[in-house]
A and B are shown apart, each in its own frame.
Chain A
Amino acid sequence: MYDTTRPETAVSQQDTKISARNVQVYYGEKQAIKDVNVEILDKTVTAFIGPSGCGKSTFLRCINRMNDTIDIARIEGEIRLDGEDVYDRRVDPVQLRAKVGMVFQKPNPFPKSIYDNVAYGPRIHGLSRNKADLDGIVEKALRGAALWNEVKDRLHEPGTGLSGGQQQRLCIARAVATAPEVLLMDEPCSALDPIATSQVEELIDQLREQFSVVIVTHSMQQAARVSQKTAFFHLGNLVEYGDTDDIFTKPQDSRTEAYISGRIG
């Protein structure tokens, strides 16, 4: 029932980019993530699937420490990015987030021009030496997000004036312009129509050549279409993790099978 015609890739040869060990997350008294262990590979798309409230977004937000902004959130265990624990005292969350970019559920362009939106990250991180440099980064990022041709004549108009799908691709361009090593995407297509969704999915497939992409999605079809690895979360547990094809064709756990066949969720 799922599209499996997507080209097979040599998944197993990639290096580990992120490794999580015994991660627990509490919101106040409530435990949202229970003892999650996972290895996320470089230059691979990893999908997190599971029913609402299963903890997949929470776990995603642990990787770039976005949960730091929530006062009652408490995290235990370790998450290593290239072997370095991101929760180490010496790690500056600001620098971490420059390396681990994020795209959110709802398109959230800043109230600035299209150009300034994309140039935002390079500017604050000093990635360009001069205007021409910056122009180059912006163009490359917009081309990378398959948006350049649509916006090249109106780079100085507000980013909020674009359509929803364009806005989301602008947000992806904005994240890509910062030259991240990992891109986290929290249900990036949930606010988009089918055409915009397929554009973004195509884009995700291209981004995999540059870095590791982790995508949280509600749509199992989307996970099957874009990812090489899939992790199934249920009630805060990581139930099953493996090659996407295996998860969808021969799930090992009965809960995974129940979810992908539509019986829980």
Chain B
Amino acid sequence: MSLSWALLVSLGLACAGYLIGRRRAFAVAGPDVRRLHSRPTYHGFSVALTSFIAGLAVMFIATILRMTGTLDVYAGPIWGWIVLAAAILGLVWGATRIDSGYKARNAVERMVMGVLMLCSMIAILTTAAIVLSLIFETGHFFQLYDWKDFFFGTEWTPRFQGESELGILPLLWGTLYISFIALLVSVPIGLFAAIYMSEYASPKVRSFAKPLIELLAGIPTIVYGLFALMTVGPLLRDYFAQPMGLGNSGSSVLTAGLVMGIMLIPFVSSLSDDIINAVPQSLRDGALGLGSTPSETVRQVVLPAALPGVVGAVLLAASRAIGETMIVVLGAGAAAQMSVNPFEAMTTITVKIVSQLTGDSDFNSPEALVAFALGLTLFVITLALNIVALYIVRKYREQYE
């Protein structure tokens, strides 16, 4: 029996365990259910969970053994049967424990907590695993390539035959430049849209305008990329870059920044909207009651009260801008260069990670491994942004609440 079948069957066993446990509890109780410490349903759940957890535990051990190479558990059907046996044993053991004094409710409570804890552990451990794999590969890269050239090199020219220049600075510059433009577009528009929605719009306007804005958030970024490639890029080139003599590239930093900014508008606006709505109505009443106009109220009372949250929203948007890939590929191109002209094609860290790993280069060459160093750098940048965001939010919260 394969493991997946064993899992399915033990789910069935758990259901059976629930019924058996409940019935036994009723039998033990006799005519008076109040003789039991826990209600029969809890006895049922207790048996079901005991059985299922026993099966899962065996399966988990088997997987660990396989991962460490001690045992090839998927080789034979035997492990499926072992899992099943464990589930049956769990069921029997659970069922025999039932008597009027058995605290099934407390046992279920503990098991539920265990399951919840396990789920949060999985999330945390996955993050740790991702970081570790990045760190190992990055270490590998720095054995092949000097870290000073990576962090301070201003040239990005990977070659298949080796002797590549792999300086991160042009990519970092592109990333920050494009993200900056994206924030320049999305923060004012998103924030002002949120202010309009929460402070000025009538419930009727709000009820249809808000979902429309949030619709923007549902568009896949590749579609934004197409919009950048087909519409915004040529438009900027024909009406701005060429007449002003700033170049004739269809893809540019400005294209990607603008489109990415549009992508981030719903993100900024819905986060800010929640935060502004959380400002107590009593503060608005207080300001209005002193004779402030609505805009004075927003500027001097609502926004200062909402500031920490808004800063947090902006930094979260910045993290997303830094990590965005598709819009950059289609909007800004793939040319790694450092320039202040926003109409030039440039590229970002994420785009280069993709292109370094999708080529045919040997996986152990610095040209491929550089992707992990880039990824780790990106991770550190966004982590730092998140920490700063948390710090700001906490600092102001202490002051005002």
Contact = CB atoms under 8 A, between A and B. Distances in A.
Given A66-B285, A71-B203, A158-B399, A98 B304 contact: no
Contacts of A120: 287, 290, 292, 300
A102 B289 contact: yes
B280 A108 contact: yes
B283 A121 contact: no
Given A71-B202, A124-B296, A158-B400, A110 B287 contact: yes
Given A111-B400, A158-B399, A125 B285 contact: no
B289 A97 contact: yes
Nearest to A159: B400
Contact of B285 (A101, A104, A109, A158): A104
A214 interface: no
A124 B280 CA distance: 21
A66 to B, nearest CB: 6
Contacts of B282: 104, 106, 108
Nearest to A96: B291
A129 B400 CA distance: 30
Given A108-B283, A120-B300, A64 B289 contact: yes
Contacts of B291: 94-99, 121, 124-125, 178
Interface size classification for chain B: 20 to 34
A121 B290 contact: yes
B29 interface: no
A137 interface: no
A94 B293 contact: yes
A7 to B, nearest CB: 31
A108 B304 contact: no
B283 A110 contact: yes
B401 interface: yes
B144 interface: no
A160 interface: yes
A32 to B, nearest CB: 18
Given A71-B203, A104-B282, A160-B400, A178 B290 contact: yes
Contacts of A99: 291
B288 A69 contact: yes
Interface string B273-290: 000000010111111111
Contact of A174 (B284, B288, B290, B399): B290
Interface in A33-72: 64, 66, 69, 71
Nearest to B286: A108
B401 A160 contact: yes
Contacts of A160: 400-401
B289 A124 contact: no
Contacts of A121: 290-291
Contacts of B287: 110, 120
Contacts of A96: 291
Interface residues of A, number: 29
B313 interface: no
B297 to A, nearest CB: 10
A94 B350 CA distance: 52
A175 B289 CA distance: 8
Contacts of A94: 291-293
B301 interface: yes
A147 interface: no
Interface in B249-283: 280, 282-283
Interface in A96-149: 96-99, 101-102, 104, 106, 108-112, 120-121, 124-125
B253 to A, nearest CB: 38
Contacts of A110: 283, 286-287, 300-301, 304-305
A204 interface: no
Given A110-B283, A110-B301, A111-B305, A66 B400 contact: no
A171 interface: yes
Nearest to B282: A108
Nearest to A105: B282
Nearest to A64: B289
Contacts of B283: 108, 110-111
Contacts of A97: 288-291
B400 A171 contact: no
A51 to B, nearest CB: 23
Contacts of B202: 71
Contacts of B305: 110-111
Contacts of A101: 289-290
Contacts of A124: 290-292, 296, 300
Interface in A16-40: none
Interface string A70-99: 010000000000000000000000111111
A175 B288 CA distance: 11
Contacts of B280: 108
Interface of B: 202-203, 280, 282-293, 296, 300-301, 304-305, 399-401
7 contacts: A69-B284, A94-B292, A101-B289, A108-B282, A110-B305, A112-B304, A124-B296
Given A101-B289, A101-B290, 5 more contacts: A112-B304, A120-B287, A120-B292, A120-B300, A124-B292
